[in-house]
Structure 1
């Protein structure tokens, strides 16, 4: 009984300390605007760039973002890239999970799994989330992960753990969500569309630290 009370007390003290630390103004790392993200990379070329509608931006509350469509000769379909960066994360301003946002926008999640960006590199597989979604008869694959302090994080739970850890250790609370979406044409080759999205994602990863500080 006494041991349990001690453990509860320790948790409360740590939680209070974390709240006090996190309430302080965090340092803002030096970074470049996502507007400067390459429009051409590894044979992929920007096809279109969009601005998010004001009502959606008001919900998103990102400090910086980029939303583009890329295409490549030989690729079966274009691939959409979306990156949203937050200088700080706190209640009401944290990153929105596609697990919640997609159903909110009418997309039904049919399948969820995780896949490696680098399947041939067991030392650095770079695991990301993959969703198969459908809306009005149209299907798409959604790949995403969270990125903070140089980490690629698929798990939302571990994303929150690292957020508290980094806030206590360095004072930083910045982070980003990185997402790729590829449509699956009816009668098309789903595997080729899947590979196209992963190819663009792999090409983007080494470029991201310039815009999402490590």
Structure 2
């Protein structure tokens, strides 16, 4: 689990995509999709589903961004939300949320475990991240 929160974003101190940092640390991307996850309250969030491999290890990564209560999967949408909130609310804070697990049996089983974890943790995010 990784939850990175930036109280203020500016050049040199901004959220950056796992699509950039994971390959930069030796992980080879195998698949990249966006998937819906139903969460508490009848809502659905859309998260990035990123399958990577290093040597004989495979890892499944789910990640998304939160900009003052708005959950978005994409880097461009996160940046747009930050700009909008900077203008409207004079705030540039945001978070990157990432959960990952080694693929030991199957990608589908690993995905199911990660989705269940996201569904369990999602209702508690408001306790740690500002709206």
TM-score tier (shorter): over 0.9
Larger Cα Rg: Structure 1 or Structure 2? Answer: 1
Match of 1:97 in 2: 17
Note the C-alpha offset of 1:86. 0.6
Establish whether residue 166 from structure 1 lines up as the match of residue 94 from structure 2.
Answer: no
Measured against aligned partners, the alpha-carbon deviations of 1:12-56 in whole angstroms (never above 9, x if no partner) come to xxxxxxxxxxxxxxxxxxxxxxxxxxxxxxxxxxxxxxxxxxxxx
- Is the 1:109–1:133 Cα contact (8 Å) retained in structure 2? yes
Bigger relative CO (Cα 8 Å, ≥ 6 apart): 2
Partner-residue secondary structure (3-state), 1:96 = coil
Partner-residue secondary structure (3-state), 2:8 = coil
Partners of 1:155 and 1:174 lie apart in 2 by 16
Structure that is richer in strand per residue: 2
Match of 1:130 in 2: 49
> What is the 5 A alignment of 1:1-214?
81-118=1-38, 124-185=43-104, 188-214=105-131
Partner-residue secondary structure (3-state), 1:145 = strand
Q: Structure 1 length normalisation: TM-score?
A: 0.58
Which structure 1 segments of 5+ residues have no match? 1-80
Please report the RMSD computed on the Cα atoms of aligned residues, expressed in angstroms: 1.4
Partners of 2:19 and 2:109 lie apart in 1 by 24
Partners of 1:178 and 1:171 lie apart in 2 by 23
- Is the 1:133–1:141 Cα contact (8 Å) retained in structure 2? yes
Measured against aligned partners, the alpha-carbon deviations of 1:60-97 in whole angstroms (never above 9, x if no partner) come to xxxxxxxxxxxxxxxxxxxxx11011100111100121
Partners of 1:198 and 1:86 lie apart in 2 by 25
Which structure 2 segments of 5+ residues have no match? none
Partners of 2:46 and 2:16 lie apart in 1 by 19
- Is the 1:148–1:212 Cα contact (8 Å) retained in structure 2? no
Note the C-alpha offset of 1:210. 1.4
Q: Structure 2 length normalisation: TM-score?
A: 0.94
Partners of 1:190 and 1:129 lie apart in 2 by 15
